[in-house]
Structure 1
């Protein structure tokens, strides 16, 4: 497909040496600065991610988690699971004693150990070439001296005012004059700057032990939480082998559980059994097929996916051809499947995804999040660390795959991905948007593989997802009314989405031409760049 130059949009970035795509322009600039000064893709990715903890605080932060895939020029891949676990003392029994039957989004019990800072250090030791002191300079400067609030950041901030007002420290820190900052307002976070400087000087241990850790634990204990200094000190990043599956001659790699990456592969396995390319990319048949595959795959997710130490079935079984065949027989092209058992999705969430490819062919696919907007809304006041609420995914009662347990990692929505073609690096990509992400991966890949879109066009293309409770389809505004009418004819309830669905970044590696082709989502503030 070719871009219509009379329609709104932008071209992908073509570069020979290196490319980066993030959801914020200041993060893209930070990554480029590192690359052009001789740093590699991992160095640049960490510099960008650190900047985003400051300039996109509603999406990410030092108090969140991280996953990444690092791919060498020869196609060797390494996965990193930087998600934290529940406090050792947390259990269904403890919650029951306190009369808690469900973990609320702003509860101290929703705060699991933040894994991102340890993951940064692990990535640097494994593949980086620069120090924290070099890479955190821009983030420290923006926190100390200020940065202008971007338009999408402002929109998200306004919607989180109620949550921020429920915590005195968050109100003081994030609601100057009692309201969200306006577009272009200069925000400064001096306590966060001190914390970033401490990490730059002392590494991840400066975050997980000492004064910063004590501030985090005191804050949670003051609210009834049970996390301890020992829980924080035990934070670690797990090296994992990516899980791969072929889709029409392309090998797609995802990380294994506790993330939902295998569900994207289940979706692609289902879609591969249909002649998707013969359908209009914007027509009702394509979206019917995609949404039915998503509903089935997410039913699998909610039944099985959690910390792998607690799963009843291995992820390899979920990707077996006979199992996907069995699932595919549920799909009818002429009508909606009435029910998908075991499906109970939680609310949309907030995340940053970025990707970098350097001059030596090293690629990084990295995703970092505080889960919901501003996480738990609980701010550790002395360190300026906003704590995520990934434990909101846990069930408080026994009998579920994702029932809370001390030391257990919750099911994660955030998933980086990577694609190989003929065994060589081909596409570094990810999709933001909480539970949408697995569906978004399948949507992006089919846009490129089945419909011939370039990365920017594939990212721009309208999206659809389904409501977590009713399974009604929610369509972005650029999906035509005729498509919605067609979907209603298949038995779907359809409505317009009240907000953009997710976000995405991608870099395609064209080995034949020696090019990097990068795209970044217009649904966010950022952009792709290269040289």
Structure 2
């Protein structure tokens, strides 16, 4: 494969040179009317080496068309489209499509690239889910590849390692079986057009030849490595992680060219030997030996026993649009529950970015997340009352609890029959197939553990098991933990409409809901729908083990800076506890099928809060 070049565009704010200030010499200071103290606090340019340039009084430039706050227009094309969290991964997907590959081929190639380019969110050590539009069957298909807990790890041992009643965030105790690769294989076996080995060519090329480290990814690599080596982190050994991600003893900076030759070798073994090379071959043997050496539990037997599964997605209709959610052991149902509750209110009439609209959305989140904590689990181990939780009747009952003049306190899960850090990308092809795929190591880069010479980190998804007796998500050997990662999909009038996702732990259902409202209720295009300022509510009276500690019964509502000041004031008057804007508002990609037939038009959008890009052709 020919070597491709990566063109990095330097933001104006990052210029930070002396000439930047001189450009404005002789022009009256727009801050002259402000106090000297205020002016001293506001930076005039970004100094070299600073991570952020914050000017709260400066907003995005003016656009002559579309939403005033939108960062750019959607990318349009008739033959195919792709949106990922890294420009090179998007280019790789487009190249695979142009070579004659299917949307699934392109998605697998992009995911392999992201395992190298974006190790802070994805990789072979994590899990994978996908929803896709099958043009031949004219339906949405679901694929789940979520790994189980090690069979040799007992509940008693897990409890003995618990901290404050929950499993540790890092180390071998948090590792569950990696499911990502078998997910890729399962998708390709049914929908692939190109040879399996061809899909790994771009990733192998960049692993060996290197790629520049982008702004956000570089920041997270340093942050993760610092956590792993911190005293008391619980990570059994960090030498392999540092060898892989901080070669020469130094984590890569933005613009540094990073390589991962170990991962290139692993990818070559997979390209030649298929999924068995990983689950019942040389890679499995290396993994087994590594965990025996460090005193962990993941074994070759666990790897041999893993298999992805095709599942029927959940669905609800929101104002004429069929919105799909991943079932299995994920939080996909939460998006549908939120939409069912919000549908009982006229949020369009309330107004875009109004206090009333955000209040209703946040209250719907609180109600749905109480159910999420109470009922969601691996359906192979617990019978989940899905039909009741996803019903319009149940949503009407829950919606009656929401008051427009105050916050619901306390909030509890509903009565139902009692039986018991992530990357997203999307690809569409010329045949009309649209793939919505999400893949994660869970929290950041994962557990902190890298097996000898393999070049990827194992996920720490096992942290989300409950240790509470009687809870449907209680830890058990060979059980899948609760999963936060969920792809999104929507159809209209029986044809595919949007393949989309919002990354970011508990933000995912909240972000997906906001995207649907922005498109359906407020008419924003797919790029503006993602650029729109977001809200993020943290904290529930019942926790899935990921909520931050010390939050009150109302939790914390965080708003991005772009939310109108009057809206913020009104929400505070309603009693919402406000938190700082901490960057936890998710990362989004989307492909919309704008037109059907011979003149099909795809509109692709990417996240302005991250390093990615969307392209179409």
TM-score interval, normalised by the smaller of the two chains: over 0.9
Distance 1:182 1:372 in 2: 21
* Match of residue 319, structure 1, among 390, 394, 408: 390
Equivalence for 2:602? 516
Shift of the alpha carbon at 1:7? 5.5
Equivalence for 1:346? none
Equivalence for 1:17? 79
RMSD: 1.9
Distance 1:480 1:179, change over 3 A: farther
Distance 1:7 1:432, change over 3 A: closer
Equivalence for 1:253? 324
The answer (yes or no) to whether the contact 1:65–1:368 under 8 Å persists in 2 is yes
Taking structure 2 as the reference length, the TM-score comes to 0.82
Is residue 409 of structure 2 the alignment partner of residue 338 of structure 1?
yes
Distance 1:396 1:116 in 2: 26
Structure 1 unaligned regions, length at least 5: 344-349
Distance 1:378 1:232 in 2: 17
The answer (yes or no) to whether the contact 1:113–1:231 under 8 Å persists in 2 is yes
Considering only CA atoms, is the larger Rg found in Structure 1 or Structure 2? 2
Task: Note the alpha carbon deviations across 1:260-293, whole angstroms, 9 max, x for none.
Answer: 1111000000010000111221121111111100
The answer (yes or no) to whether the contact 1:161–1:179 under 8 Å persists in 2 is no
Distance 1:96 1:251, change over 3 A: closer
Is residue 562 of structure 2 the alignment partner of residue 478 of structure 1?
yes
Equivalence for 1:131? 195
Equivalence for 2:294? 223
Shift of the alpha carbon at 1:398? 2.7
Shift of the alpha carbon at 1:255? 1.4
Shift of the alpha carbon at 1:482? 1.8
Please say which of residues 483-492 and 468-477 is displaced more in the overlay: 468-477
Count of equivalent residues: 525
| Structure 1 segment 57-68 matched on structure 2, within 5 A | 57-68=119-130
Distance 1:293 1:333 in 2: 12
Distance 1:465 1:81 in 2: 26
Structure 2 unaligned regions, length at least 5: 1-62, 230-234, 415-420, 540-547
Equivalence for 1:275? 346
Distance 1:387 1:396 in 2: 22
Equivalence for 1:187? 258
Shift of the alpha carbon at 1:97? 5.5
Shift of the alpha carbon at 1:375? 0.5
* Match of residue 223, structure 2, among 159, 167, 170: 159
Distance 1:8 1:301, change over 3 A: closer
| Structure 1 segment 107-126 matched on structure 2, within 5 A | 107-126=171-190
Equivalence for 1:52? 114
The answer (yes or no) to whether the contact 2:311–2:328 under 8 Å persists in 1 is no
The answer (yes or no) to whether the contact 1:102–1:397 under 8 Å persists in 2 is no
The answer (yes or no) to whether the contact 2:103–2:435 under 8 Å persists in 1 is yes
SS in 2 for 1:28: helix
* Greater RCO, CA 8 A, separation 6+: 1
* Match of residue 502, structure 1, among 562, 571, 586: 586
Distance 1:406 1:284, change over 3 A: same
Distance 2:323 2:67 in 1: 31
* Match of residue 465, structure 1, among 529, 533, 536: 536
Equivalence for 1:104? 168
* Match of residue 371, structure 1, among 439, 442, 449: 442
Distance 1:463 1:235 in 2: 37
Please say which of residues 421-430 and 488-497 is displaced more in the overlay: 488-497
The answer (yes or no) to whether the contact 2:291–2:299 under 8 Å persists in 1 is no
Is residue 414 of structure 2 the alignment partner of residue 414 of structure 1?
no
SS in 2 for 1:126: helix
* Match of residue 297, structure 1, among 347, 368, 371: 368
Is residue 149 of structure 2 the alignment partner of residue 86 of structure 1?
yes
